[in-house]
Amino acid sequence: MVRMGTVGLGAWGWNVTRNFAELKGCRVAACFDLDPQKRDAATSNWPGIHAVDSFEKLLRHDIDAVAIASPANTHYEFTRMALLSGRDVFVEKPFTLNVRHAEELGELADKLNRVLMVGHLLEYHPVVHRLKTLISSGELGPIYYIYSQRVNLGRIRGDENALWSFAPHDVSQILFLLGMEPTNVSARGQSYIQDGIEDVVFLSLFFDNRIMAHIHLSWLDPHKVRRTTIVGQNKMAVFDDAETTE
């Protein structure tokens, strides 16, 4: 039985706690959120769960692993503390808000022999696995380029921009599909609603063999689009994640 501690009981974190609570072989022993109302809601929803008001208190519980779904700017510190306390960690995207922190945590997890998993959920999506098979079996032919759009109106965040909020999904998906790292990356964005927090970002990745990927991210857009298009020499494939009937 894996004993979990969860952090962040907001819109998404509530789902994370619920899923761990419902998972066979797993028990959520404790949870932590700064908001007392969220803690009260958790204790009435999951009787037996200990809702605490600090991360230090969470780590004092008898838990094997921590799942972190608090705001992005807390991920680095909470992950670091959890690893150093000997726990395995699941942390929501965006993993960290800079590369140096991400590399440091990866090295720390290796050194301490701990599991460190980031919530790149598309890597587990059955459609993405099907696309991977279409690519690796050669059915699409050599890949020319990929583009994806992850745009909608709201939810506007104040602690991360549209790139940090959305791009981890597309970047993790594209790297998983291609099985390679880009040789060149560039991103352009603009902030309209809050100073210094980009609402719309265009991200380009270039790979060996002239493969190119382009990602459009925005929470300031009239359309809700979650679509990835892969263009190969023989065939093309479209994954429309907003199309629920196909």
- Which residues would be at the binding site for ligand NAD (CB under 6 A)? 7-13, 32-35, 38, 69-72, 74, 92-93, 119, 121, 165
Task: Round the CA-based radius of gyration of the chain to a whole number and report it.
Answer: 19
Nearest to 59 by CA among 37, 42, 83: 83
Q: How far is the CB of 37 from ligand NAD (least distance, A)?
A: 9
Report CA torsion sign: 120, 123, 126, 127: positive
The residue among 38 and 129 lying less far from ligand NAD, judged by its C-beta, is: 38
Beta-bridge mates of residue 204:
186, 214
Q: Name the residue nearer to ligand NAD (CB basis): 41 or 134.
A: 41
- 146 contacts 171 by C-beta, under 8 angstroms: no
Between 216 and 226, name the residue whose CB sits nearer to ligand NAD: 226
Please state the closest distance from residue 91 (CB atom) to ligand NAD, in A: 8
Q: Minimum CB separation from ligand NAD for residue 206, in Å?
A: 26
Closest distance of CB 16 from ligand NAD, Å: 8
Rounded to a whole number of angstroms, the minimum distance from the CB of residue 55 to ligand NAD is 7
Task: Find the residue with minimal CB distance to ligand NAD.
Answer: 10
Nearer to ligand NAD, 10 or 106 (CB): 10
Could you give the CA distance from residue 17 to residue 45 in angstroms, rounded to a whole number?
A: 11
Q: Which CB atom, from 143 or from 161, has the smaller least distance to ligand NAD?
A: 161
Which residues make beta-bridge pairs with 143?
A: 232
192 by Cβ neighbours in 10 Å (0-12 / 13-18 / 19+) ranks as exposed
